[in-house]
Amino acid sequence: MENVIMVTGATGVLGREVLERVRRTGLPVRALTRRTELPAEPGVAWFTGNLATGDGLDEAFAGVRTIIHCASDARRPKNDIPAFHRLLDAAKRAGVEHIVNISIVGVDRNPFPYYRIKLEGERLLAESGIGWTNLRATQFPELLNMALKAVSKLPVVIVPARTELQPVDQGEVADRLVELAQGEPAGQVPDLAGPKVYPATRLAKDWLRAAGRRRLVLPVFIPGRIGRAFRSGAQTAPDRAVGVRTWEQYLAAEVSR
Ligand SMILES: NC(=O)c1ccc[n+]([C@@H]2O[C@H](COP(=O)([O-])OP(=O)(O)OC[C@H]3O[C@@H](n4cnc5c(N)ncnc54)[C@H](OP(=O)(O)O)[C@@H]3O)[C@@H](O)[C@H]2O)c1
């Protein structure tokens, strides 16, 4: 069977990078979005489908061998659980052989609500009976960029105190996902983390300098178990600092003016 690859979340930060790389492999590639106006992109078959409702999934998945699952509803993350059920049910009906899932470093060590949902998705996948591969990555610089752009509209930029992050380039995560999608189901694979660990305050100050914005950076103590988990470094993986592109390189290329 030809390895027809479906990318969910193909309009997102990560999905766009994944889609472009799958396209470059020359393998047949499909892309899923909730949008009804589909991009006209050479070499990609776009499908309208909604994982939260199941609409359109049977058509989109028919004949697919591998799914790279990058979709997630960050605004309504609770939708991700029904979405996972519908993804798996439709994948089974279509005879999909391999689902490559993207998750986040620390989902098993931090009770942050979005992380709990990601962990539940991992569990559903592992118990689905479908071949699976799960990769956990650290924070994408593009996510930090979008978050800092939003919070820097205020005069004071609030960041979590004594918290470290380890940005990993979303393009490098996409490279790894596409590599995994061309192999056999591998289960839980080693984490993918960026080349350096930075205090969140430093990331914010570097970003403000690059963006040419003068703001006060105010570290705020997050109470409770979630704050403790973040301060303990649960979201970093210093022993898996295999990413190459640094935060400084990202800022120079994408933010500095
Ligand atoms: N951002 C990070 O730092 C980071 C780090 C590690 C792992 N991750 C994981 O990487 C994945 C992608 O993150 P991202 O930052 O690229 O997200 P994103 O930019 O918000 O993109 C999410 C995508 O999901 C699609 N989507 C949402 N709900 C859907 C639904 N009900 N049915 C079908 N598609 C749906 C959206 O497509 P349409 O709007 O076109 O339908 C969108 O393209 C997520 O699983 C996230 O947890 C992220």
- Across the range 191-213, mean pLDDT stands at 98
Q: How confident is the model at residue 46 (pLDDT cuts 50, 70, 90)?
A: very high
Q: Could you tell me if 166 and 237 are in contact, meaning their C-beta atoms sit under 8 angstroms apart?
A: yes
- CA of 169 relative to ligand 1 center, distance in Å: 15
Percent of the chain clearing pLDDT 90 (strictly above): 96
Task: Name residue 186's beta-bridge partners.
Answer: none
Residues near ligand 1 (Cβ within 6 A): 8-9, 11-15, 32-35, 50-52, 70-74, 79, 83, 102, 104, 118, 137, 139-140, 143
Domain definitions of the chain by residue range:
5-138+170-188
Question: What totals of helices (H) and strands (E) does the chain contain, helices first?
Answer: 9, 11
Collapsing DSSP states into helix, strand and coil, what is residue 156? strand
3-state secondary structure 50-83: CCCCCCCHHHHHCCCCEEEECCCCCCCHHHHHHH
- Across the range 77-84, mean pLDDT stands at 96
pLDDT digits (tens, 9 = 90+) for 104-126: 999 999 999 999 999 999 999 99
Residue 41 has pLDDT above 90, yes or no: no
Percent of the chain clearing pLDDT 70 (strictly above): 100
Q: In the CATH hierarchy, which fold is given to the domain comprising 5-138+170-188? A: Rossmann fold (3.40.50)
- CA of 104 relative to ligand 1 center, distance in Å: 12
Task: Name residue 133's beta-bridge partners.
Answer: 100, 187
- CA of 239 relative to ligand 1 center, distance in Å: 26
